[in-house]
Structure 1
Amino acid sequence: MTELRTLKVALLGCGNVGAQVARILIDDAGALASRTGARLELAGIAVRNLEAERDVELPQELFTTDAETLVKDADLVIELMGGIEPARTLILTAMRNGACVVTGNKALLAQDGPTLYEEADKAGVQLSYEAAVAGAIPILRPIRDSLSGDRITRVLGIVNGTTNFILDQMDSTGAQFADALAEAQRLGYAEADPTADVEGYDAAAKAAILASLSFHTRFALEDVSCEGITAVSAADIAAAKEAGFVIKLLAIAEKLTDEDGKTGVSVRVHPTLLPREHPLAAVRGAFNAVFIEAENAGELMFYGQGAGGTPTASAVLGDLVSAARRIVLGGPGRTETTTGHVPALPIAAAVTSYYIGLDVADQPGVLARIAQLFAEHGVSIEIMRQTIHRDADSNVESAELRIVTHRARESALAATVEAVKGLDVINSVTSVLRVEGV
């Protein structure tokens, strides 16, 4: 019987995900060896604090604070530290010393992916990052491999479990944003500082990665138009529900042509109204899903747990097995799939629908003036609902209008909203949200 070779694995970071990766490497060593054709030896775990409590009980002798020495002696490096530095330097060091790298660091990939891809190509090693987007959901490999013979035209994703949980709580219970956020923090879905999630930054980094793979072009974080969910109110949720919609934070990447005839890709993250019959509308709690439209495959949806130690560790181990098999069988590392340059288009080039909430004076002719203004900007109204309110103190009546437009260019829709604000019969524009899937 042929003796299996041993591949040394260095693990950088031992948080929730890292601890589970270490556990699986130790507990499932036999099964992993049979799948890869080599023994995967966990050579060490680099951490900042040797005394910190871990989610999993692991051999203390594995821990070290000397990450640089650890990666220089490894065949495979798993980076789960997060952040830009020292993760970037350690990954580059590992690749320059011939190690394949598995990472879940979406922020680093979105900010400096091209440098890492180029270094991996130069060193002839594999750089894998399935865990960087949507946790356990196998989405990056299907885009890169299974759909490589097709043309993807559009990607819509719920890629942040925290914001999906918050919006789902607001929809199902009527909770205010602050209360839903507090519940997410209590359950461990949201950090003490939830800014990266609720302001959309986490989803934007993932959108850049999805767009880069889907359209074979390098997109960075600065190419993504980003808007979070902090302005979404319980009134918005209730009005959307009444009209047959649900609000989700979507990451959207789509190929389109702007007003000047230039073809490019719009990458954006923002709260979005979806019809309740749309597949993404049924994604509840902290789950994630990615909906893909391709010329030949048609519509595809990938759904599952988008976060958590064990689910995300599953994605990491999938990449690790793939990289280990490449080492065992030989051959070049998997290279980046970019084949050209499709320009990033601003959000103004996108074609979408708007949901607009208005507080207006309750007097004759108001609806006609608003409709005329929309028509002057080339935007037609699909749905208009009116509710009359009476102020208990002043006894003055006002009307709340909820308008859903037909699809139009984002630039025209935004200009229409600005013009509406100038009408003397408008008390305030209470909300503006985009609509997809209609």
Structure 2
Amino acid sequence: MSGELIRLGLAGLGTVGTGLAKILASNADWIERRLGRRVEIKTALVRDPSKKRDLPENADIRLTSDVQDLLGDPELDIIVELMGGQDTAYELITGALRSGRHVVTANKALLAHQGNELFALAAENQVGLGYEASIAGGIPIVQTLKEGLAGNQIKVLTGILNGTANFILSEMTSRGLDFQSALHQAQVKGYAEADPTLDIEGMDAAHKLILLIRLAHGQDYPLSRLPVTGITHVDPQDIAFADEFGYRIKLIAQVRETNGLLDAGVFTALVRRESILGKVDGAFNAILLDGDAVGPIMLYGQGAGDLPTGSAVLADIMNLARNGRTPNNTGFQNAMLPMASILAPELVSSRHYFRFSVLDRPGVLASIAGVLGQRNISIAQVVQKGSPAGRSVPVVFVTHKAQAQDVQAAIREIDNQSFIAAPTVHHRILSSPA
């Protein structure tokens, strides 16, 4: 890149693309003071160039529906991919990297599936592949891990990475809504898509966690091996019980290093109500890091939206514009990261919450406790609620640490008992200090 103007080729002029255009227009002088050059969007790839768009009045952007108008334009310094999806985005990103141009993307799904290949291609062509906006919106987690905490080994990384899921759980907690009603509120407010599957099933958080594992541990963790659970099974009854014990239920993404192996996953968990993560409400995201040198650090902010995510995109653009040497895209010298050493999910140890729906008979508590004891599961607390005659009774157990394989075996055995009226509800309990 040379001269006084940095020209962008933008793929996707939706929420985030429009946010980027607004920031470039409103902060043009400020950006030029920092870079010594102006940044402008020259061409934008869109599905329908004739569609009316909410762009700044002074934005002089050529609209096109042909991807070759970006790949074939030698004046474009940086290609910015904000269209989502995988096929066309992959074609655009690989084409731009092969042509020796920097790329900025917010495409977490593509990077989760094919990131190792794309980073290797960027290194081969000595260009940058920026992806700050792909994780947690406006929170600057990528540069934090690549630069600010580069000298630390990250012992634990725990995050609330999906604002839609967190909003739904917050509504269920604060207003007593059931899952479907809370999901509807999220859609009304624009936090959830018409098809919210990726958010509520945990896959959006899983994509982000795969990228964070690469940054924090320098290993490629296959998405297909990551245990993922969403929030569709969360019941208001369990939210109320969790509150009695001093917890809130959150969708957690976490990676921990245990004896050289990575324990990672996306799961619902009981989090201490007064803890840092327990206080994260609404559509906000948060990431709690524990470095061996720096100790605990918390990053908190808006995980989505036009201006917060556009801000993260612009940060990558400005970083690439300043960078006169080959960018370090992965945060490690080896562009093709090694395969992760993974702790088998069945060996993961944590505390647990169980809600058993039982018929009100003598000896039921003793039978459940007996099975748990046989499976090396130690009980910390028990709560039993009464109910009208003829109806099942909820019995809640909170345990000390136990291995996942013992927990699953115990649930299978207990659910086969004649006194069980409905399948057992199970959530992990997050360890302190999160």
Q: Is this a same-fold pair by TM over 0.5?
A: yes
Give the structure 1 partner of residue 275 of structure 2: 278
Give matches, 1:359-438, under 5 Å.
Answer: 359-390=357-388, 395-396=389-390, 398-438=392-432
Q: CA deviation at 1:240?
A: 1.1
Instruction: Work out whether residues 153 and 254 of structure 1, in 8 Å CA contact, stay in contact via their aligned partners in 2.
Output: yes
Of residues 354-363 and 284-293 in structure 1, the stretch that sits farther from structure 2 once superposed is 354-363
Answer whether contact 1:349 1:411 (CA < 8 A) is retained.
yes
Aligned partner of 1:80: which letter? L
Out of 203, 206, 231, the residue aligned to residue 205 of structure 2 is 203
Counterpart position of 2:165: 163
Residue in 2 aligned with 1:189?
A: 191
Q: Which residue of 2 aligns with 1:173?
A: 175
Matched, 1:26 2:7: no
Confirm or deny: 8 A CA contact 2:16 2:306 kept in the other structure. Answer: yes
User: 3-state SS of the aligned residue for 1:359?
Assistant: strand
Please give the alpha-carbon distance, in whole angstroms, between the structure 1 residues aligned to 2:274 and 2:340: 33
Distance 1:335 1:235 in 2: 45
Q: Does 1:303 align with 2:297?
A: no
Distance 1:406 1:55 in 2: 54
Contact preservation (8 Å) 2:25, 2:56: no
Aligned to 1:140: 142
Counterpart residue type for residue 111 of structure 1: H
Cα offset, 1:270, TM superposition:
1.4
Is the CA contact 2:379–2:397 (under 8 Å) kept in the aligned structure 1? yes
Provide Cα deviations, 1:101-130, integer angstroms capped at 9, x if missing partner: 111000000010011101110010111101
Structure 1 distance, partners of 2:171, 2:35, is: 43
Aligned pairs, number: 424
- 1:149 CA displacement: 0.9
C-alpha deviation, 1:223, in angstroms: 2.8
> Does the CA-based 8 Å contact 1:208-1:223 persist in structure 2?
no
Q: Deviations over 1:289-322 (max 9, x none)?
A: 0111222222111000111001111111111100
Q: Is the 8 A contact 2:253 2:265 kept in 1?
A: yes
- The Cα of 1:67 is off from its aligned counterpart by 2.4
Question: Displacement of 1:341 after TM fit?
Answer: 4.1
Alignment pair present for 1:336 and 2:330: yes
Which AA in structure 2 matches 1:62? R
Cα distance in 2, alignment partners of residues 138 and 433 from structure 1: 30
Which amino acid is 1:6 matched to? L
Q: Per the alignment, do residues 315 and 298 of structure 1 end up closer, same or farther by CA in structure 2, a change over 3 Å counting?
A: same
| Cα deviations by residue, 1:183-241 (Å, 9 ceiling, x for unpaired) | 11001011111111111111110111111111110123213211111111111111111
- Asked if structure 1 preserves the Cα contact closer than 8 Å seen for 2:411 and 2:424, the reply is no
1:76 to 61, 75, 78: 78
Secondary structure of the residue aligned to 1:344 is: coil
In the alignment, the residues of structure 2 paired with residue 290 and residue 47 of structure 1 have an alpha-carbon distance, to the nearest angstrom, of: 33
- Residue of structure 1 in register with 2:233 after alignment: 231
- What do you get for the CA RMSD once the two structures are aligned? 1.7
Task: Give ranges in structure 2 of 5+ residues lacking alignment.
Answer: none
Partners of 1:435 and 1:77 in 2: how far apart? 43
What TM-score, normalized to structure 2? 0.94
Q: Structure 2 vs 1, CA of residues 252 and 424 (structure 1 numbering), >3 Å: closer, same or farther?
A: same
Q: Map 1:230-269 onto structure 2 (within 5 A).
A: 230-257=232-259, 263-269=260-266
Aligned-residue offset at 1:266: 2.2
> SS at 2:386's partner residue?
strand
Q: Is the 8 A contact 1:198 1:230 kept in 2?
A: yes
Deviation (angstroms), 1:174: 0.3
1:67 corresponds to 2:64: no
Query: 225-234 or 365-374, which moves further after superposition?
Result: 365-374
d(CA) in 1 for partners of 2:391, 2:101: 70
Q: 1:239 to 1:53 in 2, by over 3 A?
A: farther
User: How far apart are 1:349 and its partner, in Å?
Assistant: 2.5
Alignment-derived partner of residue 356 in structure 1: 354
1:170–1:101 Cα change, 3 Å: same
Contact 2:130 2:329 in 1 (8 A): no
Unaligned runs of 5+ in 1: 258-262
Instruction: Give aligned-pair identity as a percent.
Output: 37
Given candidates 124, 127, 130, the residue that maps to 2:129 is 127
Which residue, 281, 287, 290 being the options, matches 1:290? 287
- When residues 60 and 331 of structure 1 are mapped into structure 2, their CA distance, relative to the original with a 3 A threshold, is closer
Q: Tell me by how many angstroms 1:53 deviates.
A: 3.1
SS class of match (2:150): coil
Q: Following the alignment from structure 2 to structure 1, what is the Cα–Cα distance between the partners of residues 288 and 241?
A: 25
Q: Report the AA paired with residue 426 of structure 1.
A: I
State the distance in 1 between where 2:315 and 2:329 align: 17
Alpha carbons of 1:434 and 1:55: their partners in 2 closer, same or farther (altered >3 Å)?
Answer: farther
Note if contact 1:278-1:437 (Cα within 8 Å) is conserved in structure 2.
no
Q: Matched residue of 2:30: which SS?
A: helix
